[in-house]
Chains A and B, each alone.
Chain A
């Protein structure tokens, strides 16, 4: 049974179904919402033993076989490890969402996007083909955009969403280029084949490809200098922040690096890039977290720090780094998601998540307080939690390097880890203390709207408990879940023996010192915040990004004013002359002229001469017309004669299309010219001469192109093939239609995409504010003037219209 594809299809289909179900009607939908991801979690959990023994599940589906494209899915240790986190946390989030959006009519839409994201993310980690991975990768970017912009009437949301989209898709495109380089070099896009390709690390294209792929991974996983989009993404509803922007999507970049690790990690380029970028991001994110009083912003910077940690750990090829990597991924998902969920509960209950306005919530929300405290212990790495294990293993890795005399790497790593860790301890202690335990808020204390129900808190509490006790029971799953993941990252089978208690090692003492200093920083938090607030904003990467975007807008504006700033006629001249230039180039300078000259031209019949004369008359009438309306109608005549030509030459489909287009064009032109002011009549002879020249040049070259096409033939004609195969392959006798919808379906798909975009553009452009202003003025004038007796109806009329748009 194709279980992998089936799982993705289930999620993709659940998305619209849930939307149509209108889940905001009842809280029972929480259970239903958690069902699809929970089912897939259980299925994955059942696969654990088989995967641990190396019996991977692989599925391949042809996509465009002639191009060698396929959708390939493969469930190995790493894919299963990430897949379990995605669907497991996903089930909790889906459950929580129903409470978070209780009674909100757009809840269904949220579920739609959430499930689509879940399917994309799952496809991403299961992918065994670089292009498959890329498609799902973009899917996560787009769904992330929709979720961040969910509160679309809030400016911060749309801005943050656009920023995230631009940064991650720009990186994604760079990554695609890198993937294509790799794929072309190896001759296959299959990830397993690429990783197994001999000497791939030494290939000449590898450095370029790797740097491009790094760009994709670093933008997605918010590494310096791209980290700024992640805090901006916090405008998303909290379930999305918890799920996409801490537990799963931001780990996609890290996942990709882990995927490619076996083949490329020997390279110095790999080690130094990941080590330096990851280490710096870790220190920067960790130190920044305490600065913010918005709970979610603080958590976002802590997430940046963890992502930096993960990237840094992937630089190494050593045992402790691998162990630290998998334990950190798991621990982070289990403590950061609950922290976000708790922030959402506080926001929901109090109407704010600004620490300055919160205090003493432990009394009103004891369960939430318990969740936050447990998660905070794990995040700060206090003894029995999973976070402790993660930090211990990371420090151990640095310590090993130091012991081996690698002072540079070990020292840098140790210093960065300690710095990030102690500030994160201080940040999370600040969050927990200020929101839940201190007596008095700083300013404008918020009041409780309604206390959260147990169901609201349950998912967060469940995840936290797993993270708290998980380390004790590591023996139960370390060789089922973690070891196969490490095997996939390192490329060699391995077994694992995790210990919570290592004795009084130097690493443990460091850990204690970090906690102590972290508490010290927590005590001095107000001084620290003030010191940070003094750092000028203009050196941030956000300021650089904004400057770049501004420059692009400015350039576009300048370019548009140069090319299209003038009245219509010169603009059209530019376009037409550009067309003529291309034709001239192709005719006289292009070297690719290998066509055959066909023998002769037939002499047209009398009927054809007559139609021809009619067309010329129509054209002349258009030029000589005194008013626009007559010009448009004469132009219609020209079009109709073309239609007649199509009929005469036996192309009914073309004739029909041409006729309809002609009719609609005439109507559209009439409508458009109502809006466009007429160009003033030109007295200047030089300008008139120029326009005459443009018109004649265009006509002449149009004629030449048709003639040349008619009398020469390049290569062999494909028409007989279509005629012959139309019925046998396309099951249709209308060859034109079969070509459109079957043989050349890709072309048509491209064309209707353009049409759809044009519709969207027209919809946005034509609802310009001027029309509405004018309409309102007319309505106002009407109510004051002739319809003075019924001003109320006029106002109502206006209101419905405004409401409608």
Chain B
């Protein structure tokens, strides 16, 4: 029964949590938030899926993205730092400022770097959560269940 409720929660909350993660990421440079926090929030959304649906379903959903994500993040971060070479050195920031619909917006290499940070955090979290979740699913409940069945049969 619990699983059904959890699945419902997963269905409703997971997209919202991801949106929150994106929101936190985007506002990060000026208000509390940022890549690290956004990454953790996204990771908790994925953990919710694991708890509600198990690792296999989660793997089906995020699997192809999970493992390369940390490497992608690192590449993006280094790439953002390298872009700074254009502006006089490794890690020098470049900013584009423009206004759209009356709002002043800005885009810069530090934000790209932050995106890399977020990817690394999510990638690492998924890797551990999936692997450990798998181990926990397999090792304990299944084993005890099988043993119980065997005892039942003996009786």
Q: Residues of A with Cβ closer than 8 Å to B?
A: 61-66, 69, 71, 652-653, 656-657, 660-661, 663-664, 667-668, 670-672, 674-675, 730-734, 736-738, 740-742, 745-746, 748-749, 752-753, 755-756, 758-760, 762-763, 766-767, 771, 774-775, 778, 781-782, 785-786, 801, 804
B127 CB to nearest A CB, Å: 5
Given contacts A652-B32, A660-B43, 10 further A-B contacts (CB under 8 A): A64-B91, A660-B40, A671-B133, A734-B30, A737-B34, A741-B110, A741-B114, A756-B71, A759-B123, A782-B146
A63 to B140, CA, bound (A): 53
List, in ascending order, chain A residues with CB within 8 A of B40's CB: 657, 660-661, 664
Report Cα–Cα, A441/B114, bound state, in Å.
Answer: 63
Q: Give me the 5 closest cross-chain CB pairs, A-B, nearest first.
A: A766-B131, A759-B124, A660-B40, A671-B132, A674-B136
A745 touches B34 (CB 8 A): no
Q: A656-B33, A656-B37 are in contact. Are A730 and B110 (CB under 8 A)?
A: yes
Instruction: Select which of B24, B91, B113, B131 is within 8 A of A762 by beta carbon.
Output: B131
* Structural contact, A731 and B34, CB atoms closer than 8 A: no
Task: Flag whether B1 is at the interface (Cβ < 8 A).
Answer: no
A663 touches which one: B44, B128, B135 (CB < 8 A)? B44
Interface readout for B116-147 with A: 1 if CB under 8 Å, 0 if not? 11001101110111011111101110110010
Task: Check: B74 CB closer than 8 A to any chain A CB.
Answer: yes
Complexed CA–CA distance, A69 and B127 (Å): 37
Q: Is there contact, CB below 8 Å, between B127 and A737?
A: no
Query: Are the CB atoms of A740 and B127 closer together than 8 Å?
Result: no
Q: Measured between alpha carbons, how far is A756 from B117 in the docked complex, in Å?
A: 10
Give min CB distance, B78 to chain A, whole Å.
Answer: 7
A–B pairs, 30, beta carbons within 8 Å:
A66-B89, A656-B33, A657-B37, A657-B40, A664-B40, A664-B44, A664-B125, A671-B129, A671-B133, A671-B135, A730-B93, A731-B93, A733-B29, A734-B33, A734-B34, A737-B34, A737-B114, A741-B113, A748-B113, A752-B73, A752-B74, A752-B116, A752-B121, A759-B124, A762-B124, A762-B127, A771-B139, A778-B142, A785-B149, A804-B63
Instruction: Tell me, yes or no, whether B88 is within 8 Å of chain A by CB.
Output: yes
Contact B34 A740 (CB under 8 A): yes
Which B31-53 residues sit within 8 Å CB-CB of chain A? 31-37, 40-41, 43-44, 47
Q: Are A778 and B28 in contact (CB under 8 A)?
A: no
- Complex-state Cα separation, A759 to B85, whole angstroms: 29
B88 to chain A, nearest CB (A): 5
User: Is residue B106 within 8 Å, beta carbon to beta carbon, of the partner chain?
Assistant: yes
Residues of A within 8 A of B34 (CB): 653, 734, 736-737, 740-741
> A759 to B125, alpha carbons, bound, how many Å?
8
Asked if A62 contacts B136 (CB within 8 A), the reply is no
Whether A771 contacts B59 by the Cβ 8 Å rule is no
Q: A746 to B77: give the CA distance in the assembly, Å.
A: 10
- CB < 8 Å neighbour of B41 from A660, A755, A759: A660
The residues of B that contact A663 with a CB separation of less than 8 Å are 44
Q: Closest residue to B122 on the A side, CB-wise?
A: A759
Specify the main secondary structure of chain B where it touches its partner. helix
Q: Which residue of B is nearest A772, CB measured?
A: B138
In the complex, what distance in Å separates the CA atom of A766 from the CA atom of B137? 14
**CB-CB < 8 A to A801: which residues of B?**
56
Across-interface contacts of B143 in A (CB, < 8 A): 774, 778
Name A800's closest neighbour in chain B (CB-CB): B56
A671-B129, A766-B135 are known contacts. Are A731 and B81 too (CB-CB below 8 A)? no
Q: Is B57 an interface residue (CB 8 A)?
A: no
Indicate the member of A62, A732, A786 with the most B CB atoms within 10 Å: A732
Task: Report how far A108 CA is from B111 CA in the complex, Å.
Answer: 31
Question: Would B33 and A675 count as touching, CB distance under 8 A?
Answer: no
* Contact B93–A756 (Cβ < 8 Å): no
List the B residue with the shortest CB-CB distance to A781.
B146
Determine whether the beta carbon of A752 is less than 8 Å from that of B59: no
Known: A732-B110, A749-B81, A785-B146. A756 touches B31 (CB 8 A): no
Contact between B127 and A62 (Cβ–Cβ < 8 Å)? no
- Contact status B138-A771, CB under 8 Å: yes
Instruction: State whether A755 touches B121 (Cβ < 8 A).
Output: yes
- Contacts of A731 on B, CB cut-off 8 Å? 29, 93, 95, 106, 108, 110
**Chain B residues with Cβ under 8 A from A763's Cβ?**
67, 127, 131
Contact A737 B28, beta carbon cutoff 8 Å: yes
B29 partner residues in chain A, CB cutoff 8 A:
731-734, 737-738, 741
Does B65 reach chain A (CB closer than 8 Å)? no
Provided the pairs A741-B113, A763-B131, A778-B142 are in contact, do residues A804 and B31 lie with their beta carbons within 8 angstroms?
no
Chain A residue contacts of B85, Cβ below 8 A: 61-63, 71
Residue of B nearest to A61 (CB): B85
Instruction: Find out whether the CB atom of A759 lies under 8 angstroms from the CB atom of B146.
Output: no
A741 to B70, Cβ gap below 8 A?
Answer: no
Closest to B118 in A: A752
A675 partner residues in chain B, CB cutoff 8 A? 132, 135-136, 139
Known: A63-B90, A660-B44, A778-B138. A766 touches B128 (CB 8 A): yes
When chains A and B are docked, how far (Å) is the Cα of A661 from the Cα of B47? 13
CA distance in complex: A455, B129 (Å): 51
Q: A767 vs B41: C-alpha distance in the bound complex, in angstroms? A: 25
Chain B, residues 98-111, CB within 8 Å of chain A (1/0): the string is 00000000101011
B61: shortest Cβ distance to chain A, in Å?
13
